[in-house]
Amino acid sequence: MTQFVGILTAGGDSPGLNAAIRGVGKAAIGAYGMQIIGFRDGFRGLMQDRTIRLTGAELSGILTVGGTILGTSRDKPHKMPVGDQTMDMTSVMLETYHKHHLDALVCLGGGGTQKNAYHLSQNGMNVITLPKTIDNDVSGTDMTFGFDTALGIATEAIDRLHSTAHSHHRIIVVELMGHNAGWLALGAGIAGGADVILLPEIPYDINVVAEALRQRQRRGSGFSIVAVSEGAMSQEDAEALAKVAADRAAAKEEKDEKKRERAKAKLEKLNLTMQDKTLRLSRRLEELTGLESRVTILGHLQRGGTPSAADRLLATRLGAACADLIHQGTFGVMVAARGDGAEPVPLADVVGKVKLVPPGHPWIKTARDIGVCLGDRL
Ligand code: F6P
């Protein structure tokens, strides 16, 4: 009997999504004769029943295309913006799922999508997911697709910044994406030869960073590249944030609504001041070193365009493995990359976790071994 498979992409787009859609589709249609229905714009398309039939024709020519042919959104099934409110639309999505006689729903996304997909699987859908994000922070998988492409783009940017920093004897502070994880900044920082790499996992001491730059200057290198992750923060900001989080937790425990509101207001204020933390970092480094400093924020450039060969390969093999698992009836899992292969990991073990760079990770040791300053006092 023909099996019907729905597929959607959710969260921030990332290179390799189309390669994954193609991988799932080609294997599902070619090997198992399944029919594929794409939902547009993430969970919103599932709610609104906006579909596109994916046959061989639609899957052709998309391997090298960036973004997602299905469109995406950050909407959550149980908190869907409807007018000026947010509503739980899970039951509406379940209706769409049954209307199309779906045997499975494939959700391609990062940490948030894994959580939302798990929610749907607990509400009666046969869900299976694939891990994508340039942040590489999804728990349970060796790697996410999108990361390698972003790593290449960010590394090339750092390469290019070197010659201009060198010519002007400047500091260039380059901000990289990664949300609360430092994989992208650490990987591109090492590959691009940054002199300082600042990660969310290691709050920095501005004096340590300035001293490293002054030391370079004393040794005859009047320019420096500082690769900073968007989630990186100073030790003072990290302490202030930890304090507010502790206050919020205590207020919740004590069921003290006023205290909770106060902590929430403090957090909002802190988040506001942290919005320009990379600019502040650059200004402070100028003050402390006497060198001129410039900021480059790479932003969404890191997510756009053609996926790398490694990402195409990863997305295709996870996509094909996904079709096998649907055929076997394995659901409620994420198809994780494991070595050269793929394996199903229960979504229950994936959600609510973020894969940060562990303090003892070999890349951290490598960076320190080659003299990169990570902003902490050793
Ligand atoms: O999760 C991918 C990511 O690019 C993060 O690195 C970044 O913090 C975030 O998405 C940006 O989100 P948006 O595209 O909604 O601005």
Q: Hey, which residues are catalytic here?
A: 135
3-state SS, residue 72: coil
Residue 279 clears pLDDT 90, i.e. is over it: yes
**Is 293 in the same domain as 314?**
no
Same structural domain for residues 120 and 197? no
Q: What is the mean pLDDT of residues 274-295?
A: 96
Do 164 and 295 have their domain in common? Answer: yes
Give the DSSP per-residue string, 299-321.
GGGGG-SPPPHHHHHHHHHHHHH
pLDDT band at 133 (very low <50, low <70, confident <90, very high): very high
136 and 221 in one domain? no
Q: Closest Cα to atom 15, ligand 1: which residue?
A: 12
Count CB neighbours of 268 within 10 A. 10
| Contact residues for 66 (Cβ-Cβ < 8 A; gap 6+) | 13, 15, 18, 304, 305, 306, 307
134 lines ligand 1 (CB under 6 A): yes
Q: pLDDT tens across 254-266, in order?
A: 998 888 889 889 8
How far is the centre of ligand 1, averaged over its atoms, from the C-alpha of 110 (Å)?
Answer: 10
The percent of residues in the chain predicted with pLDDT above 70, rounded, is: 100
Instruction: State how far the Cα of 254 lies from the Cα of 248, in Å rounded to an integer.
Output: 10
Distance, in Å, from the CA atom of 22 to the CA atom of 243, rounded to the nearest integer, reads 46
Choosing from 74, 135, 278 the residue with most ligand 1 atoms within 8 A of its CB, the one to mutate for a pocket test is 135
Which residue range forms the structural domain that includes residue 287? 150-303+359-369
User: Is the residue at 168 inside a domain?
Assistant: yes
In tens, the pLDDT along 308-356 reads: 999 999 999 999 999 999 999 999 999 999 999 999 999 999 999 999 9
Q: Does the predicted model carry a pTM greater than 0.85?
A: yes
- pLDDT at position 271 is 87
- Mean pLDDT of all residues in 351-368: 97
What ligand 1 atom has the least distance to the C-alpha of 11? 1
Establish if 345 belongs to a structural domain.
no
Q: For residue 231, what is the domain's CATH number?
A: 3.40.50.460
3-class DSSP assignment, residue 214: helix
**pLDDT surpasses 90 at 252:** no
Apex 29 CA angle, 336 and 55, nearest 5: 110
Whether 87 and 41 map to the same domain: the answer is yes
Residue 157 sits in the same domain as residue 252: yes
For position 96, what pLDDT does the model report? Answer: 98
| From 93-97, 109-113, 260-264, 335-339, the region with the lowest mean pLDDT | 260-264
What CATH number does the domain containing 75 carry?
3.40.50.450
pLDDT tens digits, 139-153: 999 999 999 999 999
pLDDT reading at 158 higher than 90 = yes
Identity of the amino acid at 78: H
Question: Distance from the CA of 336 to the center of ligand 1, in angstroms?
Answer: 21
State the Cα angle at 67 between 64 and 73, rounded to 5°: 155
Q: What is the pLDDT of residue 197?
A: 98
Report if residue 314 sits inside a domain.
yes
- Is the same domain home to 117 and 237? no
Q: Is residue 196 assigned to a domain?
A: yes
Within-domain flag for 376? no
pLDDT per residue as tens digits for the range 8-52: 999 999 999 999 999 999 999 999 999 999 999 999 999 999 999
279 burial (CB, 10 Å; 0-12 / 13-18 / 19+) is middle
pLDDT at residue 378, as a whole number: 86
For residue 91, name the pLDDT band (cuts at 50, 70, 90): very high
Same domain for 255 and 283 = yes
Tell whether the model's pLDDT for residue 80 goes beyond 90: yes
Q: Measured from the CA of 137, which atom of ligand 1 is nearest?
A: 1
Q: What is the pLDDT of residue 357?
A: 98
Residue 29 lies in a domain: yes
- Asked if the structure places residue 347 within a domain, the reply is no
| Residue 179 Cβ contacting ligand 1 at under 6 Å | yes
What is the DSSP pairing of strand 127-131 with strand 104-109? parallel
204 is a domain residue: yes
Q: Which residues pair with 337 in a beta bridge?
A: 342
The answer on 178 and 128 residing in a single domain is: no
Domain count, the chain: 2
Assess whether 20 and 63 both reside in one domain: yes
Q: What is the pLDDT of residue 272?
A: 84
Name the residue among 124, 105, 137 with its Cα closest to residue 24: 105
Atom 12 in ligand 1: residue holding the nearest Cα: 12
Instruction: Find out whether 196 and 188 touch, Cβ atoms under 8 Å.
Output: no
Say what the pLDDT of residue 274 is: 85
302 lines ligand 1 (CB under 6 A): no
Mean pLDDT value across residues 157-179: 98
Q: Are 229 and 179 in contact (CB under 8 A)?
A: no
| Domain identity same for 193 and 335 | no
With vertex at residue 241, the alpha carbon angle to CA 352 and CA 348, rounded to the nearest 5 degrees, is 5
The per-residue pLDDT for 75 is 95
Do 165 and 267 reside in the same domain of the chain?
A: yes
